[in-house]
Chain A
Amino acid sequence: MSQPPAQVVGMGTVLDHVRTPQEVLRPHVVEFRNVTKTYNAGKTDEFTAIRDVTFVVEDVVEKGEFICVLGPSGCGKSTILRSIAGLEPQHPATSGDVLVLGQPVVGPGSDRGMVFQDYTSFDHRTVLENVTFGLECLHMPRKQRDELGREWIHKMGLNVATDAHKYPHELSGGMRQRVAIARTLILKPRIILMDEPFGALDPLTRLNMQDLLVKLWKEVQATVFFITHSIEEAVFLGDRVYLMSNSPGTILEELKIEPATSSANEMQRQPKFLEAVYYIRDKITKLESNQ
């Protein structure tokens, strides 16, 4: 949507035309309208994972939002995330509309990058080949993509000289997730979907990864959907937190959170941080006891 050249008059600018509502009303990044997903519909083991889920994530100019999703186990968090990604069998939804940038989701694509909880590095590819996988699929010339790949390996805090040619089985869990994040971010996706990416990491590595993620997220300006079981993680990372109810899951509450001002370790000691955490913890405890 490039604007035609405009005439500058002092501190003002004359636009070449009067703006229309369509131009100003930017489509929502993600929109769920009464989405219900029933697995194995029509069979004896039919199971409704999410019911009537409706929410919207606006497009904030110059900055994607960081959305955290919290909820008891099995409430349908992964179901929501995978519907946005367009992955089967969560896609298509049984009823309702899943819209991304105003368009119904028709299938997976690199505009919605995803980082999974399990390690999904391609075992037969080196770190560099893993990171540049998406660029290779775009047929970017090898030299160019290797250069970009090295840049991202470095950004992810890995050692380009020693790690780039290792195979995934030679890496620790934290390093594997760095590779997984790098190969997603290198494609500059509009939306990044993360399904408990740090779930298998030890607490210290986890804090480091959180700081790294915040830094990189600001750089790529994408909207992030981040599923986690850690309330601290959600409050630290999130601009918004969605609290989900038990299955069949719905979104129960939406919290807006102030942006973090310092590192994960420091932030997580502040009283206002802890207050938000305790509030959410009470909510979830109540939810789980109602099960």
Chain B
Amino acid sequence: MNFSFLDRLLRNWLTLRKPVSRLQAIGLGVACILLCLTGWWLITQGAAESRLVGPLTLPSPAETFSKFSELWNDFALTRNVLVTLRRVSIGFALALMVGIPIGVTAGCFPRVHAFLSPLIMIGRNVPLAAVLPLMIFIFGAGEKNKVMFIFVASVAFVISDAARAIMDVSARYIDTAYTLGASRWQTISKVLVPLAAPTIFSACRQMFGLAFGYIMLAESIKIADEVGGLGYQIQIFQRRGFREHIYLIILVIPMVALVIDQVLAWIQRQLFPHLYGGDGMLRSLVRITLIPWESMKSLFFYRTPVSLPSVATEERPK
């Protein structure tokens, strides 16, 4: 290996913010995982007594992965993942349905924002550990309190992020829309919301990851006969002292999160081709579904077929 090769390699690797090819990015990620596994294996190898870290603290990789089939079959891993996912999804979807319209309104009208800001402030700083028992008082045992817990934990963040995204759209787009004859409502629906949508989507994508963490907290409390969920499983394993299973679940959760995040990323790319390139399948879909609605409006509101209703045609002789 000569000096100039090393030099070139270093220069290549240390260029600031130089983009990485997809293959190389995956390779580097895999290298990190392998490194961690090797470390794990090194500190837990040998007979139980001679290990660097005892098996009660950290079982070896072989011991851990050997329990996977038990986790999968006897403890119904897939079902538990799905139960957990359903709770987060419903709670988070509720938060989006309530939070985005309110947030957009607050972003468009500073007075609404000023009015709501105390509530947003409280919602963002609410201690989740205190909310959980409250949810159980209010919604009783069962599914509802978990779903509502996710809703309460995320709705204030959805509102403030949506409001922020709308407020961050440059005023010149509003000016442009107005000078092209857009009404206030048209400016909101055709300019402000679409321009803010990618920012809102990214924020929500990140928040979904957080919500997925919160649900474990809610699931660790079982009062009645509600079924499973990953959080509840962890609780059981802890009581029985099943360390391997807990470690496995810790590994499974990021994997599930990764899959969900990739799906959301795909949706994001298809919705906003102006930012991420591609053919914007979902955007086209949205537009196509809007066509009948739009044609209906044309029938009712559009009355001047040839000349446009501008001052030019009204005031000037032909």
- Asked whether A189 is an interface residue with its Cβ less than 8 Å from the other chain, the reply is yes
B295, A142: Cβ atoms under 8 Å?
yes
Contact with B along A161-183 (1 / 0, CB 8 A): 00000011100000000000001
Binds A, one of B133-141, B229-237, B247-255, B306-314: B306-314
- Asked whether A85 is an interface residue with its Cβ less than 8 Å from the other chain, the reply is yes
Interface residues of B, Cβ cutoff 8 Å to A? 172-173, 175-183, 186, 190-191, 194-195, 197, 272-275, 291, 294-295, 297-298, 300-302, 305, 307-313, 315-318
B182, A222: Cβ atoms under 8 Å?
no
Closest to A110 in B: B181
Partner of B308, one of A107, A142, A188: A188
Contact with B along A182-207 (1 / 0, CB 8 A): 01100111100100000000000000
List the 5 closest pairs (A to B, CB-CB), nearest first: A110-B181, A108-B178, A111-B311, A139-B301, A114-B179
What is the bound-complex CA distance between A125 and B81, given in angstroms?
Answer: 39
What is the bound-complex CA distance between A183 and B298, given in angstroms?
Answer: 19
- Asked whether A254 is an interface residue with its Cβ less than 8 Å from the other chain, the reply is no
Q: A110-B180, A136-B190, A144-B305 are in contact. List 16 more A-B contacts (CB 8 A).
A: A2-B317, A2-B318, A3-B317, A101-B315, A123-B274, A124-B195, A125-B194, A137-B190, A138-B301, A141-B295, A142-B294, A183-B180, A187-B308, A189-B310, A190-B310, A221-B316
What is the bound-complex CA distance between A280 and B303, given in angstroms?
Answer: 48
Contact with B along A1-13 (1 / 0, CB 8 A): 1110000000000
B311, A190: Cβ atoms under 8 Å?
yes
Q: Tell which of B179, B195, B274, B305 has the most Cβ of chain A within 10 Å.
A: B179
Partner of B272, one of A86, A110, A124, A184: A124
A133, B182: Cβ atoms under 8 Å?
yes
Q: Tell which of A101, A135, A136, A168 has the most Cβ of chain B within 10 Å.
A: A136
Q: Which residues of B contact A144 (CB under 8 A)?
A: 305
Q: Which residues of A contact B297 (CB under 8 A)?
A: 139
Which of A112-166 touch B at CB < 8 Å? 112-114, 116, 118, 120, 122-125, 133-142, 144
B180, A184: Cβ atoms under 8 Å?
yes
Partner of B183, one of A1, A85, A87, A137: A137
Closest to A133 in B: B180
A142 and B291 contact, Cβ closer than 8 Å, known pairs A113-B180, A122-B173, A137-B182 = yes
What is the bound-complex CA distance between A221 and B317, given in angstroms?
Answer: 12
Q: Which residues of B contact A101 (CB under 8 A)?
A: 311, 315
What is the bound-complex CA distance between A156 and B294, given in angstroms?
Answer: 27
List 29 interface pairs A-B (beta carbons < 8 Å), by A numbering: A2-B317, A27-B315, A61-B317, A87-B179, A101-B311, A101-B315, A107-B178, A108-B175, A110-B310, A112-B179, A116-B172, A116-B175, A116-B176, A124-B194, A124-B197, A133-B177, A133-B182, A134-B180, A134-B181, A137-B182, A137-B186, A138-B301, A142-B298, A169-B274, A184-B180, A188-B310, A188-B312, A189-B311, A193-B179
Q: Which residues of A contact B191 (CB under 8 A)?
A: 122
- Asked whether A74 is an interface residue with its Cβ less than 8 Å from the other chain, the reply is no
